[in-house]
Protein backbone atom coordinates (compact mmCIF):
# COMPACT_ATOMS: atom_id res chain seq x y z
CA UNK A 1 0.00 0.00 0.00
CA UNK A 2 1.49 3.31 -0.97
CA UNK A 3 1.32 6.22 1.45
CA UNK A 4 -1.03 8.12 -0.80
CA UNK A 5 -3.49 5.33 -1.35
CA UNK A 6 -4.63 5.45 2.23
CA UNK A 7 -5.86 8.63 3.76
CA UNK A 8 -5.90 8.82 7.52
CA UNK A 9 -9.29 9.29 9.09
CA UNK A 10 -10.15 10.95 12.32
CA UNK A 11 -9.50 7.88 14.43
CA UNK A 12 -6.09 7.42 12.85
CA UNK A 13 -5.22 11.00 13.60
CA UNK A 14 -6.32 10.70 17.17
CA UNK A 15 -4.16 7.65 17.58
CA UNK A 16 -1.21 9.43 16.03
CA UNK A 17 -1.64 12.47 18.22
CA UNK A 18 -1.73 10.30 21.32
CA UNK A 19 1.26 8.35 20.10
CA UNK A 20 2.94 11.64 19.52
CA UNK A 21 2.81 12.49 23.17
CA UNK A 22 3.94 9.08 24.27
CA UNK A 23 5.29 6.84 21.53
CA UNK A 24 5.59 3.80 23.72
CA UNK A 25 2.28 3.90 25.52
CA UNK A 26 0.75 0.41 25.76
CA UNK A 27 -2.00 -0.26 23.24
CA UNK A 28 -4.43 -0.89 26.03
CA UNK A 29 -3.99 2.49 27.69
CA UNK A 30 -4.21 4.14 24.33
CA UNK A 31 -7.53 2.42 23.72
CA UNK A 32 -8.82 3.53 27.09
CA UNK A 33 -7.60 7.06 26.58
CA UNK A 34 -9.31 7.33 23.22
CA UNK A 35 -12.44 5.46 24.20
CA UNK A 36 -11.93 2.71 21.66
CA UNK A 37 -11.79 -1.03 21.92
CA UNK A 38 -8.32 -2.45 22.17
CA UNK A 39 -8.81 -4.51 19.03
CA UNK A 40 -9.63 -1.41 17.05
CA UNK A 41 -6.52 0.42 18.11
CA UNK A 42 -4.47 -2.68 17.46
CA UNK A 43 -5.82 -3.02 13.93
CA UNK A 44 -5.35 0.67 13.20
CA UNK A 45 -1.79 0.67 14.41
CA UNK A 46 -0.94 -2.33 12.30
CA UNK A 47 -2.45 -0.63 9.31
CA UNK A 48 -0.65 2.62 10.00
CA UNK A 49 2.63 0.82 10.28
CA UNK A 50 2.22 -1.19 7.12
CA UNK A 51 0.66 1.54 5.02
CA UNK A 52 3.79 3.61 5.05
CA UNK A 53 2.01 6.53 6.67
CA UNK A 54 4.74 6.69 9.26
CA UNK A 55 8.25 7.86 8.67
CA UNK A 56 11.18 6.17 10.22
CA UNK A 57 11.58 7.34 13.75
CA UNK A 58 15.10 8.62 13.51
CA UNK A 59 14.06 12.20 13.86
CA UNK A 60 13.69 11.71 17.56
CA UNK A 61 17.31 12.22 18.57
CA UNK A 62 18.43 15.76 19.23
CA UNK A 63 21.76 16.33 17.51
CA UNK A 64 22.81 18.44 20.48
CA UNK A 65 22.71 15.29 22.57
CA UNK A 66 25.51 13.82 20.54
CA UNK A 67 27.59 16.94 20.63
CA UNK A 68 26.28 18.50 17.44
CA UNK A 69 25.13 21.78 18.83
CA UNK A 70 25.68 23.76 15.66
CA UNK A 71 23.11 23.52 12.92
CA UNK A 72 23.17 24.99 9.43
CA UNK A 73 21.42 25.28 6.12
CA UNK A 74 23.57 24.72 3.10
CA UNK A 75 22.26 25.64 -0.31
CA UNK A 76 24.06 24.03 -3.18
CA UNK A 77 24.17 24.53 -6.90
CA UNK A 78 24.53 21.46 -8.93
CA UNK A 79 25.58 20.19 -12.27
CA UNK A 80 22.27 18.50 -12.97
CA UNK A 81 23.83 15.66 -14.86
CA UNK A 82 25.50 14.49 -11.68
CA UNK A 83 22.45 14.63 -9.48
CA UNK A 84 22.45 10.99 -8.48
CA UNK A 85 26.16 11.01 -7.72
CA UNK A 86 25.74 14.05 -5.54
CA UNK A 87 22.89 12.43 -3.63
CA UNK A 88 24.99 9.34 -3.13
CA UNK A 89 27.88 11.35 -1.78
CA UNK A 90 25.71 13.51 0.44
CA UNK A 91 24.09 10.45 1.95
CA UNK A 92 27.49 9.32 3.06
CA UNK A 93 28.07 12.42 5.16
CA UNK A 94 26.66 11.65 8.58
CA UNK A 95 26.33 15.32 9.45
CA UNK A 96 23.86 15.76 6.61
CA UNK A 97 20.48 15.31 8.24
CA UNK A 98 18.22 16.22 5.38
CA UNK A 99 18.26 17.33 1.80
CA UNK A 100 15.53 18.57 -0.50
CA UNK A 101 15.46 19.67 -4.11
CA UNK A 102 13.42 22.84 -4.49
CA UNK A 103 12.32 24.51 -7.68
CA UNK A 104 14.23 27.68 -8.42
CA UNK A 105 17.85 28.65 -8.62
CA UNK A 106 19.02 26.68 -5.60
CA UNK A 107 19.36 23.09 -6.64
CA UNK A 108 19.69 21.48 -3.25
CA UNK A 109 18.88 22.63 0.25
CA UNK A 110 20.78 20.71 2.87
CA UNK A 111 20.34 20.60 6.59
CA UNK A 112 23.56 19.80 8.41
CA UNK A 113 24.95 19.78 11.93
CA UNK A 114 28.40 20.11 13.44
CA UNK A 115 30.13 20.27 16.77
CA UNK A 116 31.21 23.91 16.44
CA UNK A 117 31.74 26.56 13.78
CA UNK A 118 35.10 25.11 12.85
CA UNK A 119 33.59 21.72 12.38
CA UNK A 120 30.80 23.30 10.38
CA UNK A 121 33.39 24.63 8.00
CA UNK A 122 34.74 21.11 7.60
CA UNK A 123 31.27 19.72 6.95
CA UNK A 124 30.42 22.40 4.40
CA UNK A 125 33.70 21.66 2.66
CA UNK A 126 32.77 18.01 2.51
CA UNK A 127 29.49 18.99 0.94
CA UNK A 128 31.15 21.29 -1.54
CA UNK A 129 33.45 18.47 -2.64
CA UNK A 130 30.61 16.16 -3.55
CA UNK A 131 30.63 15.26 -7.23
CA UNK A 132 28.48 17.58 -9.27
CA UNK A 133 28.22 20.28 -6.65
CA UNK A 134 29.55 23.51 -8.09
CA UNK A 135 28.77 26.07 -5.41
CA UNK A 136 27.56 26.12 -1.85
CA UNK A 137 26.43 28.75 0.56
CA UNK A 138 26.26 27.94 4.24
CA UNK A 139 24.15 29.74 6.83
CA UNK A 140 24.36 28.87 10.44
CA UNK A 141 21.00 28.46 12.13
CA UNK A 142 20.72 30.97 14.92
CA UNK A 143 17.45 29.76 16.30
CA UNK A 144 15.06 26.88 15.92
CA UNK A 145 11.95 28.96 15.77
CA UNK A 146 9.47 26.13 15.23
CA UNK A 147 10.93 22.66 15.63
CA UNK A 148 9.56 20.20 13.12
CA UNK A 149 6.04 19.23 13.99
CA UNK A 150 3.00 17.72 12.40
CA UNK A 151 0.90 18.03 15.50
CA UNK A 152 -0.63 21.32 14.41
CA UNK A 153 -1.63 19.80 11.10
CA UNK A 154 -3.15 16.74 12.71
CA UNK A 155 -5.04 18.86 15.19
CA UNK A 156 -6.26 21.12 12.45
CA UNK A 157 -7.83 18.21 10.63
CA UNK A 158 -9.76 16.87 13.60
Partner DNA sequence: GAATCACTGATCATTTTGACTAACATGAAA
Partner DNA sequence: TTTCATGTTAGTCAAAATGATCAGTGATTC
Chain residues binding DNA by CB under 7 A are: 11, 26-29, 35-40, 42-44
50-109 binders of a copy of itself (CB under 8 A): 51-69, 71-73, 87, 90-91, 93-104, 106, 108-109
Q: Are 140 and 72 in contact (CB under 8 A)?
A: yes
- Does an H or E element contain 12, and which? helix 10-21
> For residue 138, what are the contacts with CB-CB under 8 A and spacing of at least 6?
72, 73, 74, 120, 124
Q: Which stretch binds a copy of itself (CB under 8 A): 31-39, 46-54, 121-129?
A: 46-54
Smallest separation (angstroms) from DNA to the CB of 46: 8
Q: Which is nearer to DNA, 46 or 118 (CB)?
A: 46
Helix axes 10-21, 38-51, angle to 10 degrees: 90
The sign of the torsion formed by the CA atoms of 123, 58, 107, 83 equals positive
Smallest separation (angstroms) from DNA to the CB of 21: 15
The sign of the torsion formed by the CA atoms of 34, 44, 61, 99 equals negative
Q: Which stretch binds a copy of itself (CB under 8 A): 36-44, 119-127, 128-136, 149-157?
A: 149-157
Q: Which is nearer to a copy of itself, 35 or 145 (CB)?
A: 145
The entry of a copy of itself, DNA, none that residue 29 binds, CB within 5 to 8 Å by partner kind? DNA
CB half-sphere exposure, 124, CA atoms < 13 A = 21
Smallest separation (angstroms) from a copy of itself to the CB of 63: 7
Q: How many residues of this chain interact with a copy of itself, rule: CB under 8 A?
A: 73
Amino acid sequence: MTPESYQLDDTDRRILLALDEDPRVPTMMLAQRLGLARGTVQTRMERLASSGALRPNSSRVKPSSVGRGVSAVVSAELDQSHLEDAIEALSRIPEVLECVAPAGDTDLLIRAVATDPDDLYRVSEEIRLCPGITRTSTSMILRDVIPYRTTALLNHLS
